Amino acid sequence: MHPDTHSLNALTCVTLPAPALSATRGEGAAAAPVLAPLADKVSFQVEDPLLQEQVATTLQLIAASQGVIHPWMNLHGLYRLIVAPDRHAAVLANRDLIEAIGQTVEMYQGKASAFAFPCMHGIVVVMPLDIVRFAVAPENDTERQYGLTTIWHELAHVHALHLQFFRDGAFQPQSEVAMAGWVHQAWHEFFADRHSHWPGFSTDLEQHLLVSAWQDFLASPTRRTHQHLLVRMASAYGRVQANPQGVERFEALLERALGLPVDWSPCANALDSAAIYLRETGKHPDLRPIETAFNSLVASGTFIQGLSQ
């Protein structure tokens, strides 16, 4: 392994100690200690110790705030959260862990986003420093929202991925291999977006991504662009749920973007039922109803022409 990437590997990178956190219930109330949700699993290697402490403390506070909104969600399955000044180097450094689950580093190259993946030790999150900066020191509210929602999004992935890949306490990397990969992706993007957005936050980005996915499919109606469109539908639906009248606007967006009426309710019910099951049982849900609902949506629409290409 290249020497300048070795220290970023989730197996070897130095972790930052959990900061001492406290909170009050109001002005004049005594401060009470708060458990750092990420414990000592944050890795961020830069020479500036003050920057290390600022980033680590901010991530802990963001994770704690998510726990207030969704107290049933936990981060017990987190193995390491790597804040990466060089995302490319972080991907290469974790090649062994990525390839051990049947993925390739090429899947993560050419991108700038954060991502999470399971390994035999737990869930690894790679968080580019630029995204963390949006939450720590944003220049405007758009950056602030993007930074916060991205961090919450990846932490929500930790909860759902751990339930899927560590059933009965054992790592099962080949879970539900017979199911199409887009079904897993649609579920996880829906779940993560559903639990990483607060009322009042803009959903313009998710709606833009949905319209772009539809336009990509129109330009090249292949199985790949079609499946990407389905994933974007699930993701956008998860995000709009945090906003008043969000679902109604989402259905109107679907009809406007696709140019045809869409009966979205079976897909919505399948996604919502899976999320409720996970929350109430603490177990990974059966994804087959989601697959069935989306396949029925496809079969009923005129936009399936060209899928055989």
pLDDT digits (tens, 9 = 90+) for 261-282: 677 889 999 999 999 999 999 9
| Per-residue confidence band for 33, with pLDDT thresholds at 50, 70 and 90 | low
Cα separation of 29 and 25, whole Å? 6
Cα separation of 131 and 127, whole Å? 7
Cα separation of 87 and 93, whole Å? 10
| Per-residue confidence band for 8, with pLDDT thresholds at 50, 70 and 90 | confident
Higher pLDDT, 76 or 2: 76
The amino acid occupying position 277 is Y
Q: What is the pLDDT of residue 78?
A: 96
Mean pLDDT of the chain: 84
For residue 169, pLDDT over 50 is answered with: yes
Q: In a 10 Å sphere around its CB, with 0-12 CB exposed, 13-18 middle and 19+ buried, how is residue 290 labelled?
A: buried
Asked if 79 and 121 count as a contact pair (C-beta separation under 8 A), the reply is yes
The amino acid occupying position 133 is R
Instruction: Provide the sign of the torsion angle of the four alpha carbons 282, 286, 291, 296, taken in this order.
Output: negative
Task: Specify the DSSP class assigned to residue 106.
Answer: G
Q: What is the pLDDT of residue 207?
A: 80
210/262 same-domain check: yes
Contacts of 17 by beta carbon, 8 Å cutoff, 6+ apart: 40
156/192 same-domain check: no
Q: What is the pLDDT of residue 214?
A: 85
Asked if 196 and 152 count as a contact pair (C-beta separation under 8 A), the reply is yes
Residue-range definition of the domain harbouring residue 209: 176-309
44/152 same-domain check: yes
182/255 same-domain check: yes
- What global pTM score does this model have? 0.88
pLDDT tens across 103-120, in order?
A: 889 988 888 899 999 999
Joined tokens for residue 98: 């990525």
Domain boundary among 173, 189, 212: 173
Q: What's the structural domain count of the chain?
A: 2
74/201 same-domain check: no
Higher pLDDT, 130 or 2: 130
The share of the chain scoring above pLDDT 90, in percent, equals 44
**Average pLDDT of the residues in 1-16:** 64
245 sits in which H/E element:
none
| Per-residue confidence band for 180, with pLDDT thresholds at 50, 70 and 90 | confident
| Bridge partners for 81 per DSSP | 42, 125
| Bridge partners for 118 per DSSP | 123
214/107 same-domain check: no
**Average pLDDT of the residues in 229-234:** 92
**Average pLDDT of the residues in 152-172:** 92
Helix (H, G, I), strand (E, B) or coil at 183: helix
| CA distances to 153, 186, 226, 263 from 257, in Å | 25, 19, 14, 14
Domain boundary among 153, 173, 193: 173
227/149 same-domain check: no
To which residue do tokens 């990846």 refer?
154
Quote the radius of gyration of the chain (alpha carbons, Å).
20
Q: What is the pLDDT of residue 178?
A: 55
113/237 same-domain check: no
11/48 same-domain check: yes
